[in-house]
Each structure stands twice: as structure tokens, then as C-alpha cells.
């Protein structure tokens, strides 16, 4: 009997990574807010938006370029 192998969604790791990154961003943002973080606003924005956005974009490009 031949088993039918379904086609795997190649963006599934990206969806999982997005969920993990968003959860960690919300956690870090909450900790910064609760502890009254004294970091400059530019650094906070970099940590909470720029770095995760660049990582997700690179991960998306990598996964969509695969066959």
C-alpha cells in the first residue's frame, strides 16, 4: 500500500516563529513597562520592533525561496 504524502506547508515554520517572536516581544514590552525601564526610546523601539521585523522578513524570504 502506498501512503499518500500530503504536501507540507513550507511557511508553517514561519507561522510558528512569528507566534514565538510576538509572544516574546509582548513579554519584553510588559517587563519594560512594569519595571519602568530607563532605556532610551530609540533602543526600546529597536528591541521591540526593528530587530524582530528584520528577523521575520529574512526568515520569510528564506522559506519562500525553497522548492
Residue ranges covered by each domain of the chain: 12-64
Which phi and psi angles does 9 have, rounded to 5°?
Answer: -70, 115
Q: Which helix (H) or strand (E) holds 14?
A: helix 12-34
Q: Give pLDDT, residue 1.
A: 55
More confident residue, 51 or 66: 51
How does pLDDT run across 23-49, given as a tens digit for each residue? Answer: 999 999 999 889 988 888 888 888 899
Amino acid at each position: 500500500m502506498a501512503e499518500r504524502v500530503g504536501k507540507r506547508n513550507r511557511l508553517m515554520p514561519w507561522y510558528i516563529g512569528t507566534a514565538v517572536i510576538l509572544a516574546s516581544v509582548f513579554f519584553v514590552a510588559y517587563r519594560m513597562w512594569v519595571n519602568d525601564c530607563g532605556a532610551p526610546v530609540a533602543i526600546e523601539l529597536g528591541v521591540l520592533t526593528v530587530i524582530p521585523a528584520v528577523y521575520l522578513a529574512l526568515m520569510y524570504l528564506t522559506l519562500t525561496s525553497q522548492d
